[in-house]
Amino acid sequence: MPDIKLIADTLENEQTRVALIEDGKLTEIFIEYNFDEENNNFMSSRANNSRLARQGDIFIARIDKILPAINAAFASLVKPSKSHNEPRNAFLYLNEAPEIKAGDYLIVQVIKNAQKNKAPRISARISIPGRWLVLVPDSEETGVSRRIFDNSERKRLKKIADSLKSQVPGHGVIIRTAAEGIDEKFLQEDLNSLIKLWQEIKHKAKTNPAPCLLYRDTGALGRVLRDEISGNIDEIIINNPEEFESVKNFIERFYPEMPNLQLYTGITPIFEYFGIESEIDRALERKVWLKSGAYLVIDQTEALTVIDVNSGKFTDSPDMRHTVLSVNLEAASEIARQMRLRSLGGIVVVDFIDMDFYEDQEQLLKHFDSCIMHDRLKARVFSLTKLGLVELTRKRERPDLKSVLTRNCPICGDNGFVEREENLAIKIKRFIRKITSANNSQAFLIQTSTHMANYLKNYIQDWENEFERKIFIVGVQNFGWDKYRLDYQGDLETTETRAKMAK
């Protein structure tokens, strides 16, 4: 088993970031904004962001339209707000609820987040995950995760699942991968808590005006601890004291072996301190250098992702055949990591360096298969095509990293991309936190691009209240899109004068 370290950046209310490091390498990054996409605004930490439907959330929805031509129904998840004429819609495939009609109310769960112009997808099949079990209300199914391979352990867990199922007639029970080796009493406790939660959800559905949110899934950090890590974790480092206590209670309850839990209190931002920030920046680049001197070129399109393997500066093998095989094997390992890191999903086509020997091709495919076995999401490698390409598919569970952190360039359109304003805003906030922690100046003058200066106007007051300092943001015309710097820090009067002169 790899050495797993989790580093969580939850200090800013506007964004949560969780990084998984396996054997010293960043393998996955989870980013969640506390962001109202409809109003193009960050939500405050106290806001009830019920209008933003996220995967796992449960609603009582109103069916608005039935469209047999596309085998779908559109539903409202919440009531329309005063600032919008239409409520947020979601779509449901009719084969999941064939008897519904317009005007009906139905308990649904978001199973796929909204992406670009697509509404979130919902399902009438509810599943409520715990740490070791998944409760499936109104179902008769029982099962054990396919990722548990030991036959004796599968039989033991299947027997437990059948026993638990008999206690909750009318509900299904699925054993998760994390339950491997876990005692039955812990599974029983998990089931009891899930049944109690489902009863609370049904009570809300009966008593609350519909359509409305019934259950909000746990935040990004809680989901990673619950869903993304099937085995033991060695170390958890968090920079938020409140989250630290919450995570401590969670792991004491659900982790048989207590990981090393640390509260990070340094001035340098936690992702910057551990070198994760630079890793994220590199994960947005097309070219990925390998240790041998070879490199990958990764191009993402709407339909698929294309990865090209190049030998680059690699010349250590004794002959051409071994050079090609060595580069391809190293590239396969890195591609498996990059798919997880960049959250690539759907169809992926890899153009490895051409190999003339069938034995080398088979060795590469077997090695590629072994590399993706550690991926929690289902991935499948197909054989070489006639053109020498390797095709694979990977389950798409969340938006890819590039779409989360960047958008099309407003100047060149589809020909380039720039960092999203909301992500850049949080970077600037972290920068402000860093300098306010290092000195006692009354005020700060930050220079950035004119576009970002205008964008930040809505947030400066909240940041000033949080840091208890005066913050001036001034736009500079010749600044690049993502450039910012501290121009001055000192007393309030002098800083304000400099800010007026800079405008």
Quick one: pLDDT band at residue 116, thresholds 50, 70, 90?
low
Task: Average the pLDDT over 278-286 and give the result.
Answer: 95
Confidence (pLDDT) at 252: 83
Q: What whole-number percentage of the chain has pLDDT above 70?
A: 92
Which of 45-49, 62-66, 402-406, 496-500 has the least mean pLDDT?
A: 45-49
Question: Are the C-beta atoms of residues 430 and 439 closer than 8 Å to each other?
Answer: no
Query: For residue 120, what pLDDT is reported?
Result: 85
First to last CA, the chain: 57
Helix axes 320-341, 358-372, angle to 10 degrees: 20
Indicate whether 86 pLDDT > 50. Answer: no
Model confidence pLDDT, tens digit, residues 28-42: 999 988 754 444 455
Which pLDDT score, from 0 to 100, does residue 228 have?
77
Q: Rounded CA gap, 220 and 228, in Å?
A: 10
Say which residue, 320 or 135, is predicted with more confidence.
Answer: 135
The β-bridge partners of 441 are none
For residue 488, the cross-strand partners are: 445
pLDDT tens profile 324-339: 999 999 999 999 999 9
Q: Where is pLDDT greater, at 192 or 417? A: 192
How far is residue 390 from each of residues 217, 302, 355, 364, measured CA to CA in Å? 37, 19, 12, 10
Strands 235-238 and 4-9: parallel
Q: What is the CATH number of domain 285-394?
A: 3.40.630
Tens-digit pLDDT profile for residues 338-382: 999 999 999 999 999 999 899 999 999 999 999 998 888 888 998
Q: Which residue, among 6, 496, 68, has the nearest Cα to 250 in the 3D structure?
A: 6
Token pair 């396919």 is found at 146
Residue 117 pLDDT: 62
- Give Cβ neighbours of residue 217 (< 8 Å, ≥ 6 apart): 54, 55, 56, 57, 223
CATH placement of domain 128-215: 3.30.230.10
> Would you state the pLDDT for residue 317?
67
Q: What is the DSSP string of 129-174?
A: E-SSEEEEET---EEE-TT---HHHHHHHHHHHHHHHHHSTTEEEE
- Rg of the Cα atoms in the chain: 25
Alpha-carbon distance values, 111 to 33, 146, 260, 346, 372 (Å): 18, 20, 33, 16, 24
Q: What band does 48 get if pLDDT is binned at 50, 70 and 90?
A: very low
Helices 151-167 and 184-207, interaxial angle, to 10°?
40
Full DSSP string of 458-473: GTHHHHHHHHTSEEEE
Which single residue is written with the structure tokens 């009531």? Answer: 79
Q: How far apart are CA 403 and CA 20, in angstroms?
A: 20
Structure tokens at 17: 């970031």
Entry pTM: 0.82
Contact 15, 426 (CB under 8 A): yes
285-290-293 Cα angle (round to 5): 115
Mean pLDDT throughout 193-207? 94
Query: Per mean pLDDT, which range of 110-119, 366-375, 416-425, 480-489 is the poorest?
Result: 110-119
- 313 in Cβ contact with 289 (< 8 Å): no
| Domain spanning 1-48+219-282, CATH architecture | 2-Layer Sandwich (3.30)
pLDDT reading at 17 higher than 90: yes
CB 262 within 8 A of CB 281: no
Report the SS3 class of residue 198.
helix
Give the residue, 378 or 153, on which the prediction is more confident: 153
The pLDDT value given to residue 231 = 63
Domain range list for the chain: 1-48+219-282, 128-215, 285-394, 420-502
Q: Which CATH number fits domain 420-502: 3.40.50.200, 3.40.1260.20, 3.40.50.1950, 3.40.50.150?
A: 3.40.1260.20
Q: Which residues of 173-209 are buried (b: 16+ CB within 10 A; e: fewer)?
A: bbbbbbbbebeeebbbbbbebbbeebeebeebbeeee
